[in-house]
Amino acid sequence: MPEQTIHILHLFPDLLNLYGDKGNLAALCKRLTWRGIEATVTTVTQDSKELSLDDVDIVFLGGGSDREQMTVAERLMPYKQALKDYVEQGGVLLGFCGGFELLGTSWWAGDIQTDGLGILDIHAERGEQRFIGDVVLSSDWTEQPICGFENHPGRMQIGDYQPLGKVIAGHGNDGVSALEGVLYKNVFATYLHGPLLPKNPELCDSILTRALTKKYPDFAELSPLDDTLELAANRFIVQNFSGNEK
């Protein structure tokens, strides 16, 4: 019997599910179970009657088209204070692209400026062009550069918050600041999909370590895994950009 369990709440996988975001969930769960730690996942979908954050260790918000993102924004509005409290108390929350934008105060669904949940004081403007393609970041979180895929017209303004990383190749939050993503307490949000976590195992593990340390204050560290394949996938993408850095 595993002695430790991490419980993940997957919000609206029926609406927010672009670019293999489910692979992020698979990476989180597998990297726990490979270490003998139990991973359980509860989903809240359009058909769900309620949303409870009780006993949740990681909240997961993927990305979706503007229409779906708007539906999720409406459905989550009654829970915005509960989500904010969860974040302020150090709960781990992950937002990928559409999920990233929903955390802020506003974002654009086409030409309609739309309220976000306001969990973070960030907001997305809208640019004329979509930013589409592979992205490589350097980050304080990881030795290996982080790589992922972006596809968004949003131009995220994170103010004084800490970014996830610095853009080496690609566009990132807004195409001008050379910043990508945002980190706040145990909130981790980014425009990168792809999915992101299978090919960035250090990042996945640092998220898991935060969730485990929050739940089990005596938690020491994750045991190492053989990441040969994962790191080869990462290097393949990173090497495509060497020499093309910003």
Length of the chain: 246
Work out whether 194 is an interface residue with ligand GLN (CB under 6 A). no
Which residues in 22-81 contact ligand GLN (CB under 6 A)?
63-66, 69
Which of 144, 120, 135, 149 has the alpha carbon at shortest distance from 206? 144
Query: Does the active-site annotation cover 193?
Result: yes
Distance CA(168)–CA(146), nearest Å, equals: 10
Tell me if residue 29 is catalytic.
no
Q: Which of 10, 123, 171, 193 is catalytic?
A: 193
Instruction: Single out the residue of 153, 177, 185, 214 in contact with ligand GLN (rule: CB under 6 A).
Output: 153
Query: Does 152 help bind ligand GLN (rule: CB under 6 A)?
Result: yes
- Please identify, using beta-carbon distances, which residue of 24 and 144 lies nearer to ligand GLN: 24
Q: Which of residues 66 and 202 has its CB atom nearest to ligand GLN in the complex?
A: 66
Q: Does 155 contact ligand GLN by CB under 6 A? A: no
CB of 84 to ligand GLN, least distance (A): 22
DSSP structure string for 62-106: ----HHHHHHHHHHHGGGHHHHHHHHHTT-EEEEETHHHHHHSSE
When binding is defined by CB under 6 A, the residue of 13, 91, 98, 172 that contacts ligand GLN is: 98
Provide CB contacts within 8 A for 147, sequence distance 6+.
134, 135, 136, 137, 194, 199, 200, 234, 237, 238
* Closest to ligand GLN by CB, 152 or 210: 152
Which of 97, 147, 152, 171 is the catalytic position?
97
**Residues forming beta bridges with residue 136, ordered by sequence position:** 147, 169
Burial class of residue 228, CB neighbours in 10 A (0-12, 13-18, 19+): exposed
Fill in the amino acid letter for 78: P
Q: Which amino acid is it at 192?
A: L
Q: In the complex, which residue's CB is closest to ligand GLN?
A: 63
Residues forming the active site: 97, 193
Q: Which residues sit at the interface with ligand GLN, rule CB under 6 A?
A: 18, 63-66, 69, 97-98, 151-153
